Amino acid sequence: SVQDKNALHLYSVNGKYLGSETLKEEVSDMCVTGEYIVMGSLQGFLSIRDLYSLSLSISPLAMRLPIHCISVTKEYSHILVGLEDGKLIIVGVGKPAEV
């Protein structure tokens, strides 16, 4: 975060710059899972981005409170979201029939 501008930068394992994406929110926690980046923001949005293109995979989900921590289950079936007020939100991943 530099001068109220937030960005996500992508580098290869060898340190080669691959790209970046400007963010509207201030990231409070993130988790890399498979081919996705799951991010939570202080503005209360849960975002899922493609790891290689950094583009949004789905539109951000509003949690209405700042997100403090994020975790993804071992089977990649649920996202656990810890909010500022101590609540734990469990978000199912996949098509509605699978969740």
Per residue in 18-72, pLDDT (tens digit) is 999 999 999 999 999 989 999 999 999 999 999 999 999 999 999 999 999 999 9
DSSP code per residue over 31-88: EEETTEEEEEETTSEEEEEETTT--BSSPPEE-SS-EEEEEE-TTS-EEEEEETTS-E
State the Cα–Cα distance between residues 49 and 38, nearest whole angstrom: 7
State which fold the 1-90 domain adopts.
Lipocalin (2.40.128)
Domain coordinates of the chain in residue numbers?
1-90
Instruction: List C-alpha distances in Å: 88 to 40, 57, 63, 80.
Output: 13, 23, 11, 7
At 56 the pLDDT is: 95
Average pLDDT score, the chain: 90
At 93 the pLDDT is: 86
